[in-house]
Amino acid sequence: MYDFQNKVALVTGGSRGIGRAISVELGRGGATVVVNYAGNEAAARETCALVEAAGGKAEARRFDVADAAACQAVIEETIQAHGGLHILVNNAGVAIDGLLLRLKDEDLDRQIDVNLKSAFYLCRAAARPMMKQRSGAIINLSSVVGEMGNGGQTAYAATKAGLAGFTKSLARELASRGVRANLVSPGFIDTDMTSGLPEDVKAKMLEEIPLGRLGGAEEVAHAVAFLASDRASYITGTTIQVNGGMNM
């Protein structure tokens, strides 16, 4: 368990899956977690209940991560309400699959907005207060698809690959003020998104994973919590892969 007492965290896409697991893991260390959600208030409140049961504090905040003004406002309101922001986890994402020749402009734009621009917006809003307090941990969630590519996911892969360059550059910009920025890159994780896949598709996925199984959301959360903690105080600009060996 990591010590997040008196630490405030914002986790985007925290109402389910990996985002929920991250929120709970931070709460287990005593953090106050602001759980962002897009539309499912009941799920977000359930995450908050789990965070509190684990030992932390939580509040649910509905806002569109693709809205720059909303991102700025939530960062400011979080700092005003809780006295600071120490951990930012950019987890929210959307995948709209389709071959490039059939990819609609609006689907491309939506993935860029949610997966990539949101990280710019939130990191930009969080950077100044984190630099002022001379501490902070930013963790962006990428994907093994951004490293390896995947047919039918050109737009999604591009946004996740973009996060890698963004995070490394951000780490260089903020390091002198004690703020760290890192990336966690999950592989195929057992979440709502994968549970509905046909069995033959799952079987093919497992063939590509040396460890021979899907990952758990909690396993991704462990990597995020480590990078958010003081135990990772000398780590910035790097990527932790949580993919069962898919990309070595």
Query: What CA–CA distance (Å, rounded) separates 222 from 112?
Result: 27
Here the tokens at position 13 are 């896409």
Is 17 within 8 Å of 216 (Cβ atoms)?
no
Helix (H/G/I), strand (E/B), else coil: 189: strand
Closest CA to 181 of 190, 189, 172: 172
**179-186 and 189-190: which strand pairing?**
unpaired
Enzyme catalytic residues: 156
Check residue 212 and report its DSSP letter. -
Q: Which bin fits 87, alpha (ψ -120 to 50), beta or left (φ > 0)? A: beta
Residue 169 CB neighbours (<10 A) = 12
